[in-house]
A and B are shown apart, each in its own frame.
Chain A
């Protein structure tokens, strides 16, 4: 069989599998995290029970500490692949703050083109890189909250238990925001959606 010359692989299989497993894992982590938050809210409000996972604190904790294994192992596979294969370097670099700001401005004016789906613009690179770093921060802060005594030495870098708790919350908020923008972008450029299943784009 001759490969279709006009079809091009932009998302390797491992990236697609990791992406969808991560969607599942992060969805479970965030909604069960909201159930845990509601047991002792940091602020004067709670998440509506209907969008939390687990029913009550014990259920939320069970989901959170079960899903964390999927989240962490899948994330580790993705990171190792992304670094070792050069995927991150090719897709996310180079990146400069100036280029990111420029592309965000263009996007807000509706002028940012994403014609070639195999190349990310600077706004995308910034968002995806930030998302990866935030998800790593979620694990780092989560570990300090889970084991504040065993991991005390590195909890000191993030304000011990209570500091990690705040950081854990605000990282979640930032992740939710990036995911929201990401989904809005997919709705605006719908032809990106099937590529996350097939991995391929077809030219002309």
Chain B
């Protein structure tokens, strides 16, 4: 799982991707006209909506209290079974070989040495029973344990004055969060679910669990973490979901 995670992409490539994306949204727009929502897909309307979404990112950052903890629940309130959700169906879940797996680090990080699962499991572990809220509206309570992300970032010498922490995943998902959320005490590198090794459907070998963000902001099967000042976007964010999406 080494080379396929290209963390820094050059801007020409990004422009190309953006153009391809634009073309795709235009054909989506053409499709939408048939269903009678052409107004929504007009470029000027889209621009206003995106500007408002960016404004809402700022408002949410301002509302976010880095010391306010998400509520924790007794284990009796855990939702069983905890729902599976991804941009693919459950029988397409990626299989990661835990023996050869290494978590890669890139960007504004001093120690870029990759981490094996054994090394991650040897770090101090914390646990939480918190509510997971999906952008679709449903919510479920689960129990995750693993390494406090702020501890990990300090340990690898991440530049915590940077704006973003980005993630590349083994299932080709990608995403990014703001640094203040990355440093929140309940943001963890989850290695376990319900006291068992994280099963593939919940993101084996590791998931970033963030109880102050919506579900899609919490990548599973994370293969690389990078710290940057350049906006990295995300799989769903690039399709129109609000980037901050904080709780």
Contact = CB atoms under 8 A, between A and B. Distances in A.
Contacts of B161: none
A120 interface: no
B78 interface: no
Interface stretch (B147-155, B221-229, B239-247): B239-247
Majority SS of interface residues in chain A?
helix
Interface string B232-243: 000010011110
B78 to A, nearest CB: 15
Contacts of A61: 135, 240-242
Nearest to B186: A149
A39 B137 contact: yes
B240 A62 contact: yes
A170 B236 CA distance: 29
Contacts of A37: 137
Nearest to A143: B63
A62 B52 contact: yes
Interface in B32-70: 32, 35-37, 40-41, 48-50, 52-53, 56, 60, 63-65, 68-70
Contacts of A42: 137
A8 B241 CA distance: 50
Contacts of B242: 61-62, 65
Contacts, number: 82
B133 interface: yes
Contacts of B97: none
Interface residues of A, number: 28
Contact of A69 (B52, B70, B71, B138): B52
Nearest to B245: A61
B22 interface: no
B218 interface: no
A152 B32 CA distance: 38
A85 interface: no
Contacts of A160: 71
Interface string A52-76: 0111011101110110010000000
A5 to B, nearest CB: 46
A66 to B, nearest CB: 4
Interface string A124-155: 00000000000000000000000111101000
**Chain B interface: which size bin?**
35 or more
Interface in A23-49: 36-37, 39-40, 42, 49
A148 B73 CA distance: 14
Contacts of A94: none
A50 interface: yes
Nearest to B41: A55
Nearest to B56: A65
A161 interface: yes
B247 A147 contact: yes
A162 B73 CA distance: 14
Contact of A147 (B37, B50, B136, B246): B246
Contacts of A19: none
A40 B56 contact: no
A57 B135 contact: yes
Nearest to A153: B68
B136 A150 contact: no
Interface of A: 36-37, 39-40, 42, 49-50, 53-55, 57-59, 61-63, 65-66, 69, 147-150, 152, 160-162, 165
Given A36-B137, A150-B246, 10 more contacts: A39-B136, A40-B134, A40-B138, A57-B136, A59-B49, A61-B241, A65-B53, A66-B52, A149-B212, A150-B65
